[in-house]
Amino acid sequence: MTHEIITQDLAKLATENEQAVESSRPSLITDEHLEYLDDLRESGITNMFGASVFIEQDFNVSRDDARLILGYWMKTFEERHNDE
């Protein structure tokens, strides 16, 4: 295989992976939630295992929904930040 074909194959796999992540995202979870958690992580204000309290307060969601949002963020963090 040439370098160009390999590059095209890798780009296709990355796109398919991104689509798979998006298709498995619960409808409750928005980009705003994910960006908020990224910012919270970078701030160092809290250990991310305790971040559901911040989600509850700042987005006015139930404890269960906050845990769902946080769980999805944790599960997909590496996939969403694989280019950094």
pTM of the predicted model as reported, rounded to 2 decimal places: 0.71
Residue 16 makes CB contacts below 8 A (sequence gap 6+) with none
- 25-60: pLDDT as tens digits: 999 999 999 999 999 999 999 999 999 999 999 999
Helices 31-43, 52-59: crossing angle, 10 deg rounding? 130
Domain positions in the chain: 3-80
Unique residue bearing structure tokens 């999805």: 72
**Could you tell me if 66 and 56 are in contact, meaning their C-beta atoms sit under 8 angstroms apart?**
yes
